[in-house]
Amino acid sequence: MGLKYLYLDESGDLGFSSGSSKFLVISALMVADYRELDRIIKNMRRNKFKKELRKASEIKANKSSPELKKYMIKKLNEVPETLGFHTILKKDRLQSRYLRENKDKLYNYIAGILARNIVIDRFDVEIRVDKSKGKQVLRDDFNEYFVNHLREGSTIGKIEIHHSGSESFSGLQFADLLAWSIYQKYSTHNNEYTDLFTFENSCNIVT
């Protein structure tokens, strides 16, 4: 049984105040070989974007130049067996008071919808989530919820989930870029980046 790598990140926030984002996007990037992503980032740091990235511990889409973001998407398009999955919440459609008042449960709920739409057959899966939950009990709650939904409709072998700092994993930096690009499309109607995707992506709107 082979192995797939799945990286999760989000764009937008979990709040519902007047200053909060209008959308929440959770994106997942799946690849067969994470080393391909490592090579792209390493080459960017050594060559084309050496100056821009000199003081950056990680690549964040909202802090990077348009040229860098477009280059990353172009190189990601060249990575074999790449898939993108996205769930988008338009917050004014969410009626549940419970989810509005419990941010961790809201994140799990949206991530669960994402997981149900990822079909993985006859592979083990290693999952990395951008480290945002400080308490182990919250991580354990997320892990159980996400794995249960990921197994629906799939024949997955072993699943490992790690909550990691994105500065240490290229896959999380690419997942950040995917989530940011999808967020731009829905929040500002800017398709400039998503139109560059040539690998398969699927989007689910929470209604």
Q: What token pair was written down for 39?
A: 């090579």
Q: What is the pLDDT of residues 5-44, one digit of tens each?
A: 999 999 999 999 999 999 999 999 999 999 999 999 999 9
Residue 132 has pLDDT above 80, yes or no: no
The total of structural domains in the chain comes to 1
Interval 124-139 mean pLDDT = 90
Rounded to whole angstroms, the Cα distance separating 204 from 25 reads: 10
The percent of residues above 90 in pLDDT, for the chain, comes to 96
Band (pLDDT 50/70/90 cuts) for residue 170 is very high
Domain hosting residue 116, numbered range: 2-206
Q: What token pair was written down for 123?
A: 């592979």
Residue 207 has pLDDT above 80, yes or no: no
pLDDT of residue 153: 87
Going 30 to 124 to 122 to 143, the CA torsion angle's sign is negative
Q: What is the pLDDT of residues 68-102, one digit of tens each?
A: 999 999 999 999 999 999 999 999 999 999 999 99
Stated as kind and residue range, the H or E segment containing 128 is: strand 123-130
Rounded to whole angstroms, the Cα distance separating 135 from 21 reads: 24
Rounded to whole angstroms, the Cα distance separating 140 from 133 reads: 10
For residue 167, the domain's CATH number is: 3.30.420.10
**pTM metric for this prediction:** 0.96
Mean pLDDT (the chain) is 96
DSSP category for residue 55: T
